[in-house]
Amino acid sequence: MQMTLYSLLIILGCGLVTWLPRVIPFILVRKIRIPVVVLRFLSYVPLCILTALFVQNLLVVREGQLPAINTAYLYATVPTVFAAVITKNLMWIVIVGVVSMSLIRYFLV
């Protein structure tokens, strides 16, 4: 497959458009002082994102029916919640969740 200048410019442009919104907030935050209330609010963002992803995968939605529960995700929830209560560390919660889900998929599904 031959790479044209147009294709290369499109790829570089898409990379730039993807990169800029991820870098600009870091540049702006270094210049200004953020109030404590905003920092406290932003500390909940990772937990909210993980919860949204979890619930989206836990409930299986079918048109015209009530949501069903994905049992594999429900089984992986038990050790993950246990790790969350014990460690209160987001990294350990994610690690336990990924490992338990991989074990369930390997042995049960």
CB distance 68 to 60 below 8 Å = yes
pLDDT in tens, 3-42: 899 999 999 999 999 999 988 888 888 888 888 998 888 8
Phi-psi region of 65 (alpha: psi -120 to 50; beta: other; left: phi over 0): beta
CB distance 67 to 59 below 8 Å = yes
Joined tokens for residue 40: 């406290």
DSSP 59: E
pLDDT in tens, 35-82: 899 888 888 888 888 788 888 888 988 899 998 999 999 999 999 999
Pairing mode, strands 59-60 and 68-69: antiparallel
- pTM for the full model? 0.57
